[in-house]
Amino acid sequence: MRWSKEIPSAFSSYSNFGVGLLGHVLGKLAGTDYRAALKERVLIPLGMLETSSESCDEQTAQLATANKKKNKPTKHWDFSEVTVAAGGVRSSLSDMFKFLRANIDPETSELADEIVMGARQELVNRLDSYQVEHPEVLERVVEFVLEVWVKNR
């Protein structure tokens, strides 16, 4: 467990099952499953054609050998639909650089429009949590800020 700086009395921890469940839920919210949503919304737009959440013999042959104690080889994990988001995506170094580039400079990535929409929704959600007298004014401010940001990226 790790101490949270934002809330001094709060702790956080990582859960493979929790991340897997999150991926499963995101897939359902996208109207499909995690694997298809990942492919449609991230891999294809970024040109990550050497990345997959489906296990195939050709790709498995290219994976580094995993070892357990005393340097004995072990099998690679296979992931179910509910756990695939927790580590079931296999990628090439070239594709990982494409993903890294999209995260370092999102404004120029193929996902820029999705990032803008996500940022807009995040702003709206945060503003909705405040009690304001004229929420329509805040909505117009959000639209204006995002419009300026999009024009200047």
C-alpha 119/C-alpha 135 separation (Å) is: 18
Give the residue ranges of DSSP H helices in the chain. 16-29, 34-38, 57-62, 93-104, 112-128, 135-151
Quote the pLDDT of residue 151: 63
| pLDDT score at 39 | 92
Give dist(CA 143, CA 123) in Å, integer. Answer: 10
Q: How far apart are CA 35 and CA 38, in angstroms?
A: 5
Question: Chain centroid to CA 128: how far?
Answer: 24
Cα dihedral 90, 92, 97, 99 sign:
negative
Q: Alpha-carbon distance 137 to 37, whole Å? A: 34
By CB atoms closer than 10 A (0-12, 13-18, 19+), residue 27 is: buried
What pLDDT is stored for residue 36 in this prediction? Answer: 92
Beta bridge partners of 68: 72
How high is the pLDDT of residue 55?
Answer: 74
For 22, 51, 127, 136, 140, the CA distances from 132, given in Å and listed in that order, are: 32, 45, 8, 9, 14
pLDDT of residue 74: 82
- Give the model's pLDDT for residue 12: 63
Domain assignments of the chain as residue spans, ordered by start? 1-61+75-104, 105-153
Q: Structure tokens of 98?
A: 């494409």
In order along its 153 residues, the chain shows pLDDT tens digits of 455 556 555 566 778 888 888 888 888 888 899 899 899 888 998 899 988 888 777 776 777 777 888 888 887 777 777 778 888 888 888 999 988 888 787 777 777 777 666 666 666 666 565 555 666 666 676 666 666 666 655
Q: Distance between CA 38 and CA 31 in Å, rounded?
A: 12
